[in-house]
Amino acid sequence: MSLCRIVRPYYPLFKRQNSSTTKSDFRDRSLYKYFVGFQTRWRDNDIYGHVNNVVYGEWVDSIVNKYLIEKCSLEPLKSPGRSRQINGSGRTGPL
């Protein structure tokens, strides 16, 4: 199953919020098929408890790789060539 087939049904959630999209739309866990739990580190947050954008990028990279290894049988050490990850959700609200 390709990543495009997984993301495509949820593409409207990634578009900019408008009058018909609410924050609760993003929090409905039934819309998502894959979850990864992990802990943050002290250095991931600033003094106000906000997470740095670079850290979000690291999380996305880790989650995508974990998914590809677990669900798509990717073997990074045995795979020929290189793979690329391009991300940009266009989200404007909190995760």
For residue range 84-94, list pLDDT tens digits in order.
656 666 666 66
Look up residue 80 and give its two tokens: 């020929």
Q: How far apart are CA 16 and CA 12, in angstroms?
A: 9
Tens-place pLDDT, residues 12-61: 555 555 556 566 666 788 888 888 887 888 888 888 888 888 888 898 88
Claim: this prediction has a pTM higher than 0.95: no
First to last CA, the chain: 25
